[in-house]
Copies of this chain bind each other. A is one copy, B any other.
């Protein structure tokens, strides 16, 4: 590597889909001393007597909504969240002057991802993960069908205390909302504008840039190479149907997005073959993250086309995806005050480190 390539990177990278979610990549910042704390050891127990999500403790939770393969000896189990953020309401939020509010109607459910208490995603069988994605799909479809007030069903997972998980047993959550989340709304509108302008899905273009482009940028005066973009530089994992990409404008140091290679706006269209491949790409991506970060704690969430007339014209421009956000640093007053995330690891280096992990399978 030449000296030029080692110079610290310091640039504000614009998120091509939602420019307001931009990031300051400042690699010199990574050199500052951090307390050399070992990450807290992960809770890897298989069964915990008093855990409400462990088998045998079903009475400690609200009743089963869905269980796979069945109520007896379930491997995946869904229940209502005991402390829902959205739920039944008296109806009609009260607004006054500048105090505008929307009634917090909705549903909030927990998916116990696995009967094994402390298992991580990359330790699960691919067949199990495919089942889990099937549960996501089926419950999303049910919730949309059950209630026309539901505008969006958000699936997400918190893993580890740094990611805000308050219960150690591995679980996902589903929140059925009376509004389309603002950040998804922006993705939908901006990708629609891009499609109207260029007749091309911007997510498909990003996949193309990751898979099929190379480029060299020279200095105008000296003719020296200033930057090279290589084929596959942003690819973390590639399956038959899915790709895991390190975004150019990653807000989180180890952020990775998984997208279907073929354009599709709606996660609910996923086929069985695709689910199996998603499980494989997911397991391998999480294994890479776990190896590089060292016991990765993270959030992931699904952004898919809302089931609403208002977004019917977003099908060609929007591309569903799963965003994985490992939580390796705490946002400070700079992030809060500027809205700009600071990322201290170059996304290109991060992608390379993730690719270099050797996986056993």
Contacts and interface: CB of A to CB of B under 8 A. Distances in A.
Given A248-B98, A339-B182, A86 B26 contact: yes
Nearest to A175: B334
Interface stretch (A125-133, A142-150, A152-160, A269-277): A152-160
The copy count of this chain in the complex is 2
A330 interface: yes
Contacts of A94: 217, 226-227
A47 to B, nearest CB: 21
Given A7-B90, A25-B104, A28-B84, A99 B336 contact: no
A97 B213 contact: yes
Interface stretch (A11-19, A70-78, A278-286, A309-317): A11-19
Nearest to A343: B85
Interface size on A, as a range, is: 35 or more
A13 B101 CA distance: 4
Contacts of A186: 20
A100 interface: yes
Given A20-B182, A29-B85, 8 more contacts: A7-B90, A26-B86, A31-B83, A97-B213, A164-B333, A173-B334, A182-B338, A184-B338
Interface of A: 7, 9-14, 16, 19-20, 22, 24-26, 28-29, 31-32, 34, 82-87, 89-90, 93-94, 96-105, 154, 156-158, 161-166, 173, 175, 177-179, 181-184, 186, 202, 205-206, 209, 213, 215, 217, 226-227, 229, 248, 299-303, 323, 325, 329-334, 336-340, 342
